[in-house]
């Protein structure tokens, strides 16, 4: 009787969930599957309004052979690794020094979070002006030291560094917020016990804080790696992929293929390659997180 | 009960008839929408003449102005989806992929006689599709070089007729620039899409082979890039970081002896004492030979999905005519497209430093027959060349290798034949 009742309850619950599941299927699964099917066809919007013949893996093979795609992939990876590393590092440092409840610390935190609430396009435009080699604020400040500032957006490597800096500036606050939440969850008793045992600031950091915030760090790592792989706004507004191909990331490549050249099927294939790569990274991080958890906490 | 039924039947008959009759009485006015670039010039000019046009024709006009990238996106999406939101569109050869969605203007042109008095060759330079003209020209510009005529005269330099002469003169130009503490040449190298300008103005080879493939004429292209390499040595040291506005500002500030630019972006400011330190000191040079300067030719197209193509044509005629050509140039600085404007005595005198070279450059300038993808790739490789990452030979081979895989849109191929850019 009890089992029957529970089953009925489950069925009713499932019935209530059905509309939501349907919406998710229609809104997310259908476009995804449609784009997947498009990636195996030939379709250039300028030639035809409807998808053309089945071409198998041709679009995927084309992507692997396309030096622009391969280069864009490399740049995306470089961008992703560099930006995420510094965001986690700076995010933790800033959170560590601004955790607390005094007025000054709260004010500092509020100011630190501000870049995150600026629209990425506006952020890119502001930075483009600041990095202007002639009239930009950055070079003016450098000029006060008697040094001539470099051409930030005109030299390939510096342009890439510049867009990484922009991302770090905008998204370090996200890491700060998450790390602050992690730090405030550490029980005060642990600090007290450590101090009683004679632990100094560095030992507390090494043996209490870092192990405790490791799960939180994984969240930041996961979100930022995925997000930096999908970056487009800041690059679109500052360098537009240039000079040359030096900041041409994969999302910009997909945007160009789909919306400038109307190569829908090729853009779909490139998007799927990016998605697979993003998923692989996400799963690897989650597996790594489980391993670390086991080692640290035995769970 | 019967009465109620009778009333209901009568009502159901009366209501639709009265609605129909009412609808007939107030016929909706003919309405068209014009999409164009929000530049503070073309759009303002359209806004200015809109009330008069609506009053005279009874046609309701909506002006939809967008920044360039948005305009391109909106126009192409509208055409590819067959929405028909925009009856009249403003664009250029970058719309080649969607030319099949525009109507042929041949009959309208024949009936109205449009085209008489335009700058030489401009009807041919307008876009064609399957032998039919689909675009009407307005607001043309040709990439060119403004230079400090006062300093040239002072140094006994005269504007060269050929690139060889120009290159030979560069050391003397540099000496003049150095003595005045200014850059010899400025160029917006920081705007990646502008990079091809330096190539186009020296290249007179083909872009499309006999068998319809994109290709640069290798030897000529290498020669041009080697010339450009030499030319780059005389550019401002930071030219790769300069936007169009930065480069223009430097010339306007009197900090550059010459500038390679779109003249229409700078001429109005250069003659305005409030915005320029070079008023009365500059001149536009006639583009040296060989080569064909890059043409920017805005055109008006009528969408195949327009419900009112006749009204759309009327608007096109109201916007592009000899009277407005003068007025728009005087008021908004929009490049004239009619010969008569360049010969207008008042304007010819006032713009003697600009008009002769501009009309000459415009008649020589052409649109390269490049699709968006081929031109973007071309520009990026030239960017790498400009940064010294590739030599001339490597750059040309890299471009040709990629171009061999890209399709040539039929419409561009057709225009390339008309403008002599096919092998």
For B31-142+296-364, CATH number?
A: 3.40.190.10
Give the nearest partner residue to B238 out of A154, A248, A259, using CB atoms.
Answer: A154
Q: How far is CA A226 from CA A84, A219, A223, A229, A231, in A?
A: 10, 11, 5, 5, 9
When mean pLDDT is compared across A169-173, B73-77, B116-120, B343-347, the lowest value belongs to B73-77
Share of chain B above pLDDT 90, in %: 72
Q: How far is CA A242 from CA A296, B74, B240, in A?
A: 44, 25, 10
Chain B, window 207-246: residues with a beta carbon less than 8 angstroms from a chain A beta carbon: 238-243, 246
Do both A9 and A139 map to the same domain?
no
Residues B86 and B78 sit within 8 Å (Cβ to Cβ):
yes
**Contact: B192, A242; criterion CB under 8 Å:** yes
Residues A36 and A96: their CA atoms lie apart, in Å, by: 44
Rg of chain B, C-alpha, whole Å: 25
Interface residues of A toward B, Cβ cutoff 8 Å, are 45-46, 49, 68, 132-135, 151-156, 239-245, 248, 256, 259-263
Residues B300 and B287: their CA atoms lie apart, in Å, by: 27
pLDDT at B62: 96
Is A169 inside a domain boundary?
A: yes
Residues A241 and A239: their CA atoms lie apart, in Å, by: 5
Residues B164 and B302 sit within 8 Å (Cβ to Cβ):
no
Cβ neighbours of residue B39 under 8 Å, at least 6 residues apart?
none
Confirm or reject contact between B121 and chain A (CB < 8 A). Answer: no
Residues B39 and B46 sit within 8 Å (Cβ to Cβ):
no
pLDDT at B357: 96
Cβ neighbours of residue A185 under 8 Å, at least 6 residues apart?
A212
Q: 10 Å Cβ neighbour count for B365?
A: 25
Which residues from B are below 8 Å from A261, CB to CB? 97, 371-373
Is A53 inside a domain boundary?
A: no
Do both A13 and A70 map to the same domain?
no
Which residues from A are below 8 Å from B193, CB to CB? 240
pLDDT value at A7 more than 60: yes
Do both A110 and A231 map to the same domain?
yes
DSSP-derived secondary structure letter, B335 = P
Residues A118 and B202: their CA atoms lie apart, in Å, by: 44
SS3 A159: helix
**Residue A96's CATH number:** 1.10.3720.10
Cβ neighbours of residue A15 under 8 Å, at least 6 residues apart?
none
Model confidence at A74, pLDDT cuts 50, 70, 90, reads very high
Give the nearest partner residue to B383 out of A134, A242, A260, using CB atoms.
Answer: A242
Residues B379 and B399 sit within 8 Å (Cβ to Cβ):
no
Q: Are strands B183-187 and B256-261 parallel, antiparallel or unpaired?
A: parallel
DSSP-derived secondary structure letter, B24 = H
Task: Give residue-wise pLDDT tens across range A31-63.
Answer: 999 999 999 999 988 778 788 899 999 999 999
Model confidence at A290, pLDDT cuts 50, 70, 90, reads confident
pLDDT at B13: 57
Architecture of domain B144-292+372-406: 3-Layer(aba) Sandwich (3.40)
Do both A133 and A267 map to the same domain?
yes
Model confidence at B244, pLDDT cuts 50, 70, 90, reads confident
Residues A225 and A84 sit within 8 Å (Cβ to Cβ):
yes
Which residue did the predictor score with more confidence, A1 or B119?
B119
Task: Give residue-wise pLDDT tens across range A9-35.
Answer: 888 888 999 999 899 888 888 999 999
Could you state, in order of their start, the residue ranges of all structural domains in chain B?
Answer: 31-142+296-364, 144-292+372-406
**Contact: B373, A256; criterion CB under 8 Å:** yes
Number of compact structural domains in chain A: 2
pLDDT at B164: 96
Do both A149 and A236 map to the same domain?
yes
Query: Looking at chain A, which residue has its C-alpha nearest residue B250?
Result: A134
**Contact: B241, A68; criterion CB under 8 Å:** no
pLDDT at B309: 95
pLDDT at B14: 58
Is A126 inside a domain boundary?
A: yes
Share of chain A above pLDDT 70, in %: 98
pLDDT at A299: 59
Confirm or reject contact between B83 and chain A (CB < 8 A). Answer: no
Closest CA to B91 of B83, B102, B81: B102
Closest CA to A163 of A266, A60, A83: A83
How high is the ipTM of this complex? 0.71
B219 burial via Cβ count (<10 Å: 0-12, 13-18, 19+): exposed
Is A74 inside a domain boundary?
A: yes
Model confidence at B344, pLDDT cuts 50, 70, 90, reads very high
Do both A196 and A132 map to the same domain?
yes
DSSP-derived secondary structure letter, B286 = P
pLDDT at B17: 53
Q: What is the mean pLDDT of chain B?
A: 91
Do both A19 and A100 map to the same domain?
no
DSSP-derived secondary structure letter, A43 = -
Task: Give residue-wise pLDDT tens across range A105-141.
Answer: 999 999 998 999 999 889 999 999 899 887 789 999 9
Domain B31-142+296-364 identical in fold to domain B144-292+372-406 = yes
SS (HEC) of A239-270 = CCCCCCCCCCCHHHHHHHHHHHCCEHHHHHHH
Residues A114 and A92: their CA atoms lie apart, in Å, by: 17
Distance from CA of B80 to the nearest CA of A (A): 7
A31 burial via Cβ count (<10 Å: 0-12, 13-18, 19+): exposed
Task: Give residue-wise pLDDT tens across range B363-399.
Answer: 999 989 998 889 989 998 998 898 888 999 999 999 9
Tokens, residue A245: 């191909």
Helix (H) or strand (E) holding A237: helix A233-238
> Which runs of E-coded beta strand occur in chain A?
none
**Contact: B192, A46; criterion CB under 8 Å:** no
Domain that holds residue A147: 63-297
Query: Looking at chain B, which residue has its C-alpha nearest residue A262?
Result: B97
Cβ neighbours of residue A78 under 8 Å, at least 6 residues apart?
A160
pLDDT at B220: 96
Distance from CA of A258 to the nearest CA of B (A): 11
pLDDT at A171: 95
């Amino acid at each position: 009787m009890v089992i029957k009742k529970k089953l009925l309850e489950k069925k009713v619950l499932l019935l209530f969930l059905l509309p939501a599941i349907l919406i998710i299927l229609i809104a997310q699964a259908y476009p995804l599957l449609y784009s997947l099917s498009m990636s195996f066809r030939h379709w250039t919007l300028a030639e035809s309004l409807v998808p053309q013949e089945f071409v198998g893996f041709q679009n995927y093979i084309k992507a692997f052979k396309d030096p622009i795609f391969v280069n864009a992939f490399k740049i995306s990876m470089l961008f992703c690794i560099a930006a995420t590393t510094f965001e986690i590092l700076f995010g933790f440092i800033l959170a560590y020094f601004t955790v607390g409840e005094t007025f000054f610390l709260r004010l500092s935190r509020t100011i630190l979070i501000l870049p995150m609430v600026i629209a990425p396009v506006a952020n890119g435009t502001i930075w483009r002006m600041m990095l202007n080699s002639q009239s930009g604020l950055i070079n003016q400040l450098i000029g006060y030291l008697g040094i001539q500032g470099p051409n930030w957006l005109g030299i390939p490597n510096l342009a890439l560094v510049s867009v990484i800096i922009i991302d770090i500036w905008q998204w370090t606050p996200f890491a700060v917020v998450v790390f602050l939440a992690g730090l405030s969850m550490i029980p005060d008793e642990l600090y007290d016990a450590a101090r009683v045992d004679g632990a100094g600031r560095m030992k507390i950091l090494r043996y209490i804080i870092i192990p405790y915030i490791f799960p939180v760090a994984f969240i930041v790592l996961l979100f930022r790696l995925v997000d930096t792989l999908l970056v487009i706004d800041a690059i679109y507004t500052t360098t537009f992929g240039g000079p040359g191909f030096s900041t041409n990331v994969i999302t910009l490549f997909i945007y160009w293929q789909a919306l400038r050249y109307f190569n829908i099927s090729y853009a779909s294939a490139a998007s799927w390659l990016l998605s697979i790569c993003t998923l692989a990274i996400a799963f690897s991080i989650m597996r790594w997180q489980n391993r670390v958890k086991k080692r640290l906490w035995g769970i | 009960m019967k009465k109620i039924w009778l009333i209901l039947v009568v009502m159901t008959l009366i209501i639709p008839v009265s609605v129909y009759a009412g609808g007939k009485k107030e016929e909706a006015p003919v309405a068209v929408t014009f999409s164009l670039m929000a530049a503070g010039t073309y759009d303002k000019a359209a806004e200015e003449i809109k009330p008069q046009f609506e009053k005279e024709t009874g046609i309701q006009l909506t002006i939809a102005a967008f920044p360039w990238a948005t305009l391109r996106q909106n126009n192409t999406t509208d055409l590819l989806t067959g929405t028909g939101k925009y009856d009249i569109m403003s664009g250029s050869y970058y719309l080649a992929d969607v030319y099949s969605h525009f109507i042929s203007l041949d009959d309208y042109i024949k009936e109205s006689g449009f085209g008489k008095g335009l700058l030489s060759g401009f009807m041919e330079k307008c876009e064609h599709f399957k032998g039919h003209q689909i675009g009407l020209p307005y607001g043309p510009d040709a990439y060119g070089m403004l230079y400090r005529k006062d300093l040239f005269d002072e140094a006994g330099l005269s504007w060269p007729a050929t690139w060889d002469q120009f290159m030979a003169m560069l050391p003397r130009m540099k000496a003049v620039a150095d003595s005045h503490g200014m850059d010899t040449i400025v160029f917006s190298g920081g705007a990646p899409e502008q990079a091809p300008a330096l190539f186009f103005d020296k290249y007179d080879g083909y872009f499309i082979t006999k068998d319809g493939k994109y290709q640069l004429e290798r030897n000529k292209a290498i020669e041009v890039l080697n010339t450009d390499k030499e030319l780059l040595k005389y550019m401002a040291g930071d030219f790769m970081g300069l936007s169009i506005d930065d480069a223009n500002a430097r010339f306007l500030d009197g900090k550059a002896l010459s500038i390679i630019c779109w003249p229409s972006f700078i001429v109005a400011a250069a003659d305005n004492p409030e915005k320029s330190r070079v008023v009365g000191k500059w001149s536009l040079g006639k583009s040296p030979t060989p080569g064909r300067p890059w043409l920017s030719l805005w055109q008006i197209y009528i969408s195949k999905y327009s419900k009112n193509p006749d009204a759309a044509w009327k608007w096109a005629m109201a916007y592009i005519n000899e009277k407005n050509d003068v007025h728009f140039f005087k008021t908004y600085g929009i490049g004239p497209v009619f010969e008569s404007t360049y010969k207008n005595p008042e304007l010819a005198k006032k713009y003697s430093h600009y008009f002769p070279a501009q009309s000459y450059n415009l008649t020589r300038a052409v649109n390269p027959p490049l699709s968006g993808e081929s031109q973007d790739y071309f520009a990026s490789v030239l960017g790498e060349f400009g940064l010294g990452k590739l030599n001339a030979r490597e750059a040309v081979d890299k471009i040709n290798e990629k171009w061999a895989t890209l399709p040539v849109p039929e419409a561009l191929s057709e225009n390339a034949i008309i403008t002599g850019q096919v092998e």
